Structure 1
Amino acid sequence: MDKVAEILAEASAEVVEPRFRALAAGEVMEKAPGDLVTIADREAEVIIERRLRELLPVPVVGEEAVAADPALAQALHSEPAVWLVDPVDGTSNFIAGRPDYAVMASLVRAGQTVAAWIWQPATATCYSAELGAGAWRNGHRLTRTPAPAVPAKWRGSVKSRYLDPASHRRLQTSAAAAFGELTPGRNAAGIEYPDLVEGALDFILYWRTLPWDHAPGSLLVTESGGVSARLDGSPYRPEAPGGEDGLLVAADQETWQQTRAVLFGE
C-alpha cells in the first residue's frame, strides 16, 4: 500500500506539479471533442504505468492509453488482475489553475476493486483503501459518520451532465426541493469522494462512470462505512467505458435509499 502511494506522489512531483499554473503553449491538447488532456497527464501515466508493472506485472488500464486504444479497457473483463490509473483527475481544474485535482490508481482483481489510492497534490494528502481492511487519510483510519436524520439537512451533488436535458432538469428540481444544499461538485472524483468520506457531502449521484474515475473513490467510501451502488442497488464494480451508467454514493444505507427515492420517484 505504501509503495503505490509513493509512486503516485513521486510521479506527481516529477511531471505534474511543476506544470501547475505553468503549462506552456502546446501542452494542452484535445483528445476528443471537448475532452482536454495535457502533457502532464500523458507523462505521469507513462511513469506510473512503468513503476506499477515493476511492483506487480499485470496489465495497466490508464485513461490516456485507453483514449488512444479503447480495446485496452477490455482487460478489466478478461484479465484476473488489472491496475487502473488516472494520472490527472480533474484535468479541467488543472488547466484552469484550480487546485482541485488528484492522481489516482486502483488494483482490480476478478472484477472487484481490492485496493485504491488518491493523491491530492495541493494539500499533500493521500487517501487509500484496501478491501476488508479499511480506509485512511495519511495513515489515519477514516470512518464516515451517518448523515443527519432528515434529508432537509443533507448536502449532495447531482452530476447529471450526460443525461438528456429533460431528465437533467427533473433530477435537479427534485433534489433542490428535498435536500438542504445541492452543490455542483468540484469537477474531480478524486476530490469529491474524499469530501463525502470526510462529511462535506452526504450523497453524490454520478451518471457516466469511467472506471479510473470511480474505482478508487468507491472503495474509499465503502471501506469507511458508506455506500457506492448502481441504481438497482448492486455494489459498484469497475466496467470498461460504455458499460452501465448511473452510480449513487452515500454516507450510509438509509441515506442511499432515501436519496434514490427522491431522485427517481421510487
Structure 2
Amino acid sequence: MASTQDVLELIQQVAAEVITPRFRALADDQVHQKHPGDYVTIADREAEVVLTRELGRMFPGARVVGEEACFTNPELEFTLGGAEHAFTVDPVDGTRNFVKGSPDHAVMVSEVVAGQTCRAWIWQPEHGVSWVAERGAGVQRNGESLTRIGQDRLALGATSKASRHGFDGGGELAATVETAWCCGIDYPNLLMGELDYLVYKNVHPWDHLPGALMVTELGGDVRNFAGEPYAPGWTGPGLVAAASTEMAEQVQRLWIEP
C-alpha cells in the first residue's frame, strides 16, 4: 500500500510534468469554459488522467472521483459517500487563477474510506508549499507539524458570494473579504490564522474534503448551513469552515437567513 508521502510525491510529479509547464504558456485552444466563467484547460484534463491512473495503480479497487470526470458523468460525484475506498481529485484547483497567470492555484487529493475522509493533500506548485493531513495525526506544512495561531481581532472571513463581501454581522465580525477563488489557497489561509472562517455556496467534494479534514484536525469545525458536520457524500447547499465550533456557530447564526 502506498504511503502518504508516496501520494504527495505523485501529486508533485504530475504538477511538475503536466501543470507547471503550461503555467502562463497556454494557447487559446487549450482553454475552454464548461460554463460561463468556469474554466478548464489542457492541464486540468491531462493531470486528472494521470492522477486517476496512478492512484488506481497504487490503490487497486479504489474509486477515483475527479472534477473533470464528474463534469462528463455527474452521477459519479454522488457515488462517493457509499464507496468503501475512494479518492477525490482536483487536478488544478483555481483554474481561473491559473488561466490568468496567478500563482494562487493548487492540486488537491483526498482519500475516503467507508464514508470518512482519512487523508488529504494540497500542493501549491508555484508557492512550493505542501499541506498534508492524516485523520488523528494533525496537519503538516512542508513536512512540519502545524499549530494554528489565532489573531487578536474580530473574526475575519472570506466568501465567494459577492453580495456578502463587506458583511460584518452588525459589527460582530470583521468585514468579510473575497476568497482567493481557490480552496487550495483559502483553506491553508484558514489553517495559518490569516482567516478565521470561510463561507461557500457551492460544495463539491474535490474542493472541500481536503481542507475540511485539515481544519478539523486543527480543532476547527466544518458544517453545512443546517449545522450538520460536513462529510463525504453531502452536496449542499452551503458550507461554513471555521477555526472553532464556537466561531462556526456564530457565523452560522449571523449568515444564515431565517
TM-score (norm 1): 0.89
**What is the CA RMSD across the aligned residues, in angstroms?**
1.9
- For residues 166 and 17 of structure 2, the distance between their equivalents in structure 1, rounded to whole angstroms, comes to 40
TM-score (norm 2): 0.92
Give the conservation status (yes or no) of the 8 Å contact 2:65–2:88. yes
5+ residue gaps, structure 1: 162-167
Give the conservation status (yes or no) of the 8 Å contact 1:61–1:82. yes
Residue 174 of structure 1: CA displacement?
4.7
Moved more, 74-83 or 184-193: 74-83
- For residues 139 and 69 of structure 1, the distance between their equivalents in structure 2, rounded to whole angstroms, comes to 36
Task: Please name the residue that 2:35 is paired with.
Answer: 32
Residue 234 of structure 1: CA displacement?
1.9
Residue 262 of structure 1: CA displacement?
2.1
Cα deviations by residue, 1:90-120 (Å, 9 ceiling, x for unpaired)? 0000000001000010001122211100000
Query: Is 1:111 equivalent to 2:115 in the alignment?
Result: yes
The aligned amino acid for 1:106 is: S
The aligned amino acid for 2:84 is: P
Query: Is 1:251 equivalent to 2:254 in the alignment?
Result: no
Give the conservation status (yes or no) of the 8 Å contact 1:144–1:226. no
- For residues 170 and 147 of structure 2, the distance between their equivalents in structure 1, rounded to whole angstroms, comes to 27
Cα deviations by residue, 1:41-97 (Å, 9 ceiling, x for unpaired)? 000001111111111121110000111111222331332111100000000000000
Give the conservation status (yes or no) of the 8 Å contact 1:90–1:187. yes
- For residues 219 and 173 of structure 1, the distance between their equivalents in structure 2, rounded to whole angstroms, comes to 27
Give the conservation status (yes or no) of the 8 Å contact 1:250–1:256. yes
Aligned length: 254
5+ residue gaps, structure 2: none
Q: Percent identity?
A: 43
- For residues 83 and 49 of structure 1, the distance between their equivalents in structure 2, rounded to whole angstroms, comes to 9
Residue 124 of structure 1: CA displacement?
1.1
- For residues 179 and 139 of structure 1, the distance between their equivalents in structure 2, rounded to whole angstroms, comes to 33
Higher helix share: 1
Cα deviations by residue, 1:135-186 (Å, 9 ceiling, x for unpaired)? 11011111223454xxx6221113336xxxxxx45x8545474322421010
User: Which one of 251, 254, 258 corresponds to residue 262 of structure 1?
Assistant: 254
